[in-house]
Chain A
Amino acid sequence: MNGQPLRSKVRIINALGLHMRPMQGFVELASKFQSRVAVAKEGEQPVDGKSPWGLLSLRAEQGTELTLEVEGPDQQEALDALVVFLNELIKEDEEASE
């Protein structure tokens, strides 16, 4: 971990996409880490993963694939936590249908 950013691809799976609530959860989670978090949609400029306006502008819907890039002292923990967060968004749909 010497200045090499970590990358991971995640597909948005919940029905509503990265709407207000998941956006808020993502930003709050990302902000707990010191590392820089960048999120990009295929073929677009990456946005700041700690900026709610940035995330909204991604227009990530169900099925959108996002690339996370994390760089900093706690990058591994940060990346793991964020990937888990996005993968668990599906639970939101289950909650909603209960």
Chain B
Amino acid sequence: MEIKRGIPVSPGVAIGLALVLDNEGIRIPRRFVEDGPLDGEVARLRVALAAAAREARDNERAAADKLGKQYGAIFAAHALLIEDPHLIREVEALIREQSFAAEYAVSRVIRRHVKTLENLDREGHFASRTADLFDIEKAILRNLLGQRRELLQHLTEPVIVLAHDLTPSETAALDPKMVHAFATEAGGRASHTAIMAGVLEIPAVVGVGKFLNDVSGGDEVIVDGNRGFLILNPDDETRERYETARTTFRTFETRLGELRDLPAETRDGVRVQLLGNIEFPEEARHCLTRGAGGVGLYRTEFLYLNKQTDPTEAEHLDAYLTVLRVLGPQPVVIRTLDLGADKFATATEQVHEERNPFLGLRSVRLCLRNLTLFKTQMRAILRASAFGDVRIMFPMVSTLLELRQCKMILAEVKEDLEDEGIPFNRKIPVGTMIEVPSAAILADLFAREVQFFSIGTNDLTQYTLAADRTNEEVASLYSPGDPAVLRLIENVVRAAQRYTLDVSVCGEMSGDPIYTLLLLGMGLRQLSVTPQNIPEVKKIIRSITIEEANLIAQEAMRLDTARDVNNYLREQTRRILPEVVN
């Protein structure tokens, strides 16, 4: 058994067999021989080994001819390793004694050897050797799997996906019926992949660091998305413990489901507006089933990604109306495009490679340079406002001038629609994200020019602490509980109160139950969270009085470091609702 620690990004526990994704997409589909005699499996193994050895010999000749004899020798070594009767004996024994599928048995044996080499390799002498061994593993697996190489979309049995990293589109393509959880080596708490895991509602742990060498497809693994553990080949005791935990978690989830129709109200009767964050129109439904009071953040980037051309006004409008149809009269805050220039395949003119994209031409800065793009989206948002409670929000505004420019362009678009006789809400509420420290510091000035604020704690934290949240090396600096971030939030809330503006928090922080008490105590009455976090946050709100929350926030604001703040909040949350903090 091996326990790896990562960052929990989507709650729940899953126990199952691993499906390892690597760059070549070779996947080991199953652990055991399903039916038929083991002799057949051994025969399959021998055929594959012979073919892999033949390939290595062919490579040897080709490399020797093209590059010189000593280059061919590497492949000769591969061939010898593949033909080694010791290897064949070891693999065969696993097939015959454990009924392992040939693929799994090969991977197990080779990775065991790799592990032995690596464990004794303090100075990295054998790194190139282990790379050769992985090559050999791949060559054999390729031959074993042949045409049967499995595609993620065509899974026939449930698995837990393990990968170095998953792109958002790969994550989105996962079928939650078959993929019961995933864990990745890379990634941080607020990475896009993490957000997608929440959307799919499957347990996920990211940022585990290197572990793929220690696991074979078909190994039994546990993903603990509550605490951030990935457990490889659990022992009986651990598995039992987790099976119990899984049942308890489900019961807790069911209980939370019962909260749906109860108001988000503290014990002393203070109402909190709980809204949902969504990215895809289909998610609007998740908000309703969880009892959200509307959509506090509708991200529109998906309209632009993986497209050959910019989305048309009709495409925008179609997506917005889909959401409005589901939500009826509830408010929907649509955020204008929030992407980096680097993310665009087509939309803009050729962009220069940026040395520092997070500080570069992105989000509203990019829109202000591409007025056609910006106006198209504004037109669609305005047109949608004729059909429901639509509000428009600008992301990543860092100066008042930017905000004024956005408003001016919006006024122009309104005028155009007016001239064309197209209906829209003339009083559409305009808000700005507060996610750049400059805007948080000048919140009192911004407050005079908008109808609402939404504090984007992901970027606010990243920019305040100058730490990339997706870079594992510095991710530990990144915490929304950092006193510097808290003081900025406090400043924004105070400004909003003075000018009687709506203010909400829409980063991951607002959906993390350990911060609920703090945020309420700081004066927030609006939280916009990933739909699946709504019940938990609501449960906390319903368990406390506002007085308690105020005291806890005061205490937290006195602490010096993110660690102290987080520990304190975790402790307080545990006291009130032990189930949500493990």
Contact = CB atoms under 8 A, between A and B. Distances in A.
Contacts of B73: 20-21, 24-25
Contact of B116 (A19, A24, A27, A57): A57
Contacts of A57: 113, 116-117
B129 A53 contact: no
B85 A20 contact: no
Nearest to B131: A20
B267 interface: no
Given A53-B87, A56-B113, A59-B117, A24 B80 contact: yes
Interface string A34-72: 000000000000001001111011010100000000000
Given A51-B86, A52-B81, A52-B84, A24 B76 contact: yes
B129 A20 contact: yes
B77 interface: yes
Interface string B116-144: 11001100011011001100000000000
Contacts of B125: 16-17, 61
B366 interface: no
B117 to A, nearest CB: 6
Contact of B80 (A17, A19, A27, A95): A27
B80 A48 contact: no
A23 B86 contact: no
B77 A24 contact: yes
A93 interface: no
Nearest to B114: A56
Contacts of A20: 73-74, 77, 128-129, 132
B89 to A, nearest CB: 10
Contact of A59 (B86, B87, B120, B133): B120
Nearest to A23: B77
Contact of A48 (B86, B126, B129): B86
B80 A56 contact: no
Interface in B75-97: 76-77, 80-81, 84-87
A90 to B, nearest CB: 15
B567 interface: no
Nearest to A31: B80
Interface in A1-39: 16-17, 19-21, 23-25, 27-28
B92 to A, nearest CB: 14
A23 B365 CA distance: 59
Contacts of B169: none
Nearest to B133: A56
Nearest to A54: B86
Contacts of A54: 86
B70 interface: yes
Contacts of A61: 125
A59 B118 CA distance: 10
Contacts of A56: 81, 113, 117, 129, 133
B324 to A, nearest CB: 63
A52 B80 contact: yes
Interface string B498-518: 000000000000000000000
Given A53-B81, A95-B70, 13 more contacts: A19-B129, A20-B73, A20-B77, A20-B128, A21-B73, A21-B74, A21-B77, A23-B77, A23-B80, A51-B84, A52-B84, A56-B133, A59-B126
Interface of A: 16-17, 19-21, 23-25, 27-28, 48, 51-54, 56-57, 59, 61, 95
The 4 closest A-B pairs by CB, nearest first: A24-B77, A20-B77, A52-B80, A21-B73
15 contacts: A19-B128, A24-B74, A24-B77, A24-B80, A51-B86, A52-B80, A56-B81, A56-B129, A56-B133, A57-B113, A57-B117, A59-B120, A59-B121, A59-B126, A95-B70
